[in-house]
Structures are given as C-alpha cells and as structure tokens.
Amino acid sequence: MKIGILISGRGSNMVAITKAVLDGTIPDSEVAVVISDRSKAAGLEKARALGVEAVAITRRGRERDEHDAEIVEALRSREVELVCLAGYMRLLSADFVRAFPERIVNIHPSLLPSFKGLDAQGQAIEYGVKISGCTVHFVDEHLDHGAIILQKAVEVRDDDTPETLSERILGFEHESYVEAVRRVAVGNYKILGRRVLFSG
Ligand code: GRF
C-alpha cells in the first residue's frame, strides 16, 4: 500500500509511521511522499533523513480548493492509496475527501468526540476530565469527525499542564497510529455507518 503523509510541523507521528513501514510492522507498504503545507516544517528534513521524498506545498494565498487540488494531484501522481494526516493543521475540502473515499485517516490527541480542535489537551485539563487519550479515525469534511479506528485512554494527573499531558499522550499516539495504519494496510475491516469493525 502506498502511503502519503501530510504534516504541518514536527512530524513525530510521521516518523513513527515511516519507521514502522521500513521495519515491516506495517506490512507491504511504502511511504511514497510526505507533504507539508509549511515550508519550514521540521518534519520535512526528518522524512528525507529516513529516505522519503518530502515536499512543501504551501497555500500562497490561494483558496482552499485550489491548494487542496494541488496536494491531491501530488498524491495521485505518486499513486498514493492511503493518506495519513499527522499534525496537519488544515481542514480538508470536500473535494479532497471525495478524492480518497474512506482512505484518509487522522490522529487527534483526545478521546473523540470530546475536545475537538486546537489544544485538545488543554481543553481536557480545563474541563477536569480524569481520562483523556488519543483517537485515530477516518476523515470526513468535518473537523475531527469520522469513523473511529482505534482509541487509547491516558490518565490525566492533578499536576498536569497542557505540555506534560501532551507529552504523555504523544507516546500513545505513536503506537496507536502505527497500529491503526497496520490494520488498514492488512485490510480485514469493514465500515458500518460510523463503526469500523475488524476481524482477525
Ligand atoms: C499530535 O499531537 C497530533 O495528535 C495533533 O498534532 C500533533 C502533531 O505532532 N494533531 P507531530 O507533528 O506528529 O509530532
């Protein structure tokens, strides 16, 4: 399976997925391209260091549809079959979502549907929940919404700051994202409404 990964920054989830592809944990797959909407994203160099093609496709003041069309074209030209959003800080246009039906996945640092959007970890602390976590889900055109592939629960401690909680959740994100992409690559699942059901 050819994978394209979209990032905007640090790229630690992208690195986790790429390493899992390279060591065979995610079977029969290749990371065909890493695309960032920010030319200064630190993840671009990290991808190249792992031997993966990495390009910046920035918005340059264009409408979202036009920007997304260029990214879709870049993915298609490399025959990408699965798109992983990994800290990609933009909402996809409906055309982008339609270009890869049930073939775009995202990771979010909360137990969805709680705490969508920015600073999910700060939102969790502010709300006072004792358990948060991370969610890997298929993507539709709504923010942090779509059929859930897997979730991991993470304890919120009394002395947590957004930074310490983010750090703790991030470790679980890496293993969750790898496991979710592995399951999608193996392909023994079906989507029933909002539910992703795995067999075997
Ligand atoms: C992660 O916490 C991810 O869940 C969120 O943005 C962060 C990206 O981190 N969407 P990284 O770029 O993968 O290191």
Whether the CB of 133 sits within 6 Å of ligand 1: no
Pairing of strands 54-56, 30-36: parallel
108 carries an active-site annotation: yes
Which tokens go with 115?
């705490």
Q: Which pTM does this prediction carry?
A: 0.97
Question: Which residue's CA lies nearest to atom 9 of ligand 1?
Answer: 87
Q: What confidence score (pLDDT) does residue 133 get?
A: 98
pLDDT at residue 63 greater than cutoff 70: yes
Per the document, the length of the chain is: 200
- What number does the ligand 1 atom closest to the CA of 173 have? 4
Q: Is the pLDDT of residue 141 over 90?
A: no
Mean pLDDT of all residues in the chain? 97
CB of residue 11 inside a 6 A radius of ligand 1: yes
Is pLDDT of 116 > 80? yes
Mean pLDDT, to the nearest integer, of 108-135?
98
Give the model's pLDDT for residue 103.
Answer: 97
> Quick one: 27 exposed, middle or buried, by C-beta within 10 A (0-12, 13-18, 19+)?
exposed
Testing ligand 1's pocket by substitution, the residue of 137, 151, 170 carrying the most ligand atoms inside 8 A of its CB is 170
Question: Using a 6 Å cutoff on CB, does residue 174 contact ligand 1?
Answer: no
What percent of the chain shows pLDDT beyond 90?
98
CA of 94 to the centre of ligand 1 (A): 22
The model's pLDDT over 20-46, given as tens digits with 9 standing for 90+, comes to: 999 999 999 999 999 999 999 999 999
Query: With 80 as the cut, is the pLDDT of residue 200 above it?
Result: no
Give the nearest ligand 1 atom to 108 CA: 4
